[in-house]
Amino acid sequence: MLGRQLGIVYMLLSRDSVTAAQLADHFEVSVRTIYRDVEALSLAGIPVYARKGKNGGISLTENFVLNRMMLTKQEQGALMAALTSMQETGAGDEQEMLQKLGGLFQMESTGWVSIDFSDWSGRRSALFEMIKRAVLEHRLLRFDYYGQNNVMHQRTVEPVQLLFKEYTWYLRAWCREKRAMRLFKIMRMKRVECLDGIFVPDPEKYRDEKTDCPNCSAEKSAEGSCRQPVSKDPGLPKNGIEVIVLRVEASEAWRIYDRFEEEEVTRQEDGSFMIRMKVVLDEWVYGMILSFGPAAEVLEPAHVREEIGRRVAKMLEAYQ
């Protein structure tokens, strides 16, 4: 009964007036029961009243909501937006809460963000749903993982967070084999299982980021090894980040600003582009450079230029 009476209040907060018949139909009770609820609410101090006649109905007194607000309109809007974004992630059932707060604040929720965790084929939808469940319910995940050296290892982890960074999804988790925090690239996780075992989260050990080596790309960190070459150039960052300089032909203009930040791009007099980007050097970076084909040339550093040359030569062998 109390839940129904609160539901009546929330409905009245979002509307000027509702008939007893409408409320009775919504809550699947009799009109007489609705009038008893209205009387109980009135006795409890809620200023609800009923009007008879053609334009009659059940209403709350004017300004009932505004007199009880502890948040500014801007704060109310920010709270509604935050809940909307949580709903988009599928983290929980926020729809009812949004409806209640929308009535309380007398405003509509704004769908300012939309998040789709699946790929275009839809194959990864079930995987993301499984990971979400494991994170929220503190369930262990077990999967086969392909490392940078193409060797597969089985891992059992305590999932902490799903992370999207630089066009790639990762799972941040405590690896029970490595006894440390690791980042696992979602695309390399195969045969993923959500186990029955429930773990007790330990925020203290999850905050220990020393195991995530700054000299490695995220997926290399998951292997528990550090093979990332660090530049010896004293003018470059000393945290494993490479500064790569590319020259890209003008014909690729349509791709430039899709991929690079404006401050990374310098337009040359001949129409070509000079790109100076800071990256953690990994397979994705090499693939991105090669995707430009003959329209891109690595100018610096020398070892990246040489590696691109080796890869192009190896590709050429396959077609001879």
CA dihedral 124, 125, 131, 135 (to 10 degrees): 150
**pLDDT per position as a tens digit, 250-270:** 988 888 877 887 888 999 999
Fold of the domain spanning 125-221: SH3 type barrels. (2.30.30)
Averages of pLDDT over runs of 10 residues in the chain (320 residues) are: 71 79 88 86 77 79 54 58 51 51 53 54 74 89 81 90 79 91 87 90 73 39 40 43 92 82 89 90 86 93 94 90
User: Given this model, what pLDDT does residue 52 score?
Assistant: 75
Cα-to-chain-centroid distance, residue 108: 23
Burial of 275: CB neighbours in 10 Å, binned 0-12, 13-18, 19+: buried
Cβ proximity of 222 and 183 under 8 Å: yes
* Cα distance between residue 135 and residue 117, in whole Å: 15
DSSP at 232: -
CA distance from start to end of the chain: 80
The letter for the amino acid at 135 is V
* Cα separation, 316 vs 151, whole angstroms: 26
Amino acid at 227: R
Residue-level pLDDT at 298: 96
Domain ranges of the chain: 2-66, 69-105, 125-221, 241-317
Three-class secondary structure of residue 197 per DSSP: strand
Q: CB within 8 A of 304, min separation 6: which ones?
A: 242, 244, 281, 298
Q: What is the pLDDT of residue 28?
A: 86
Backbone dihedral angles phi then psi of residue 292, each to the nearest 5 degrees = -80, -10
Q: Is 2-66 a domain of CATH 1.10.10.10? A: yes
Calculate the alpha carbon distances from 83 to 24, 109, 131 in Å. Answer: 29, 9, 21
What is the model's pLDDT at position 114?
A: 52
pLDDT on residue 101: 55
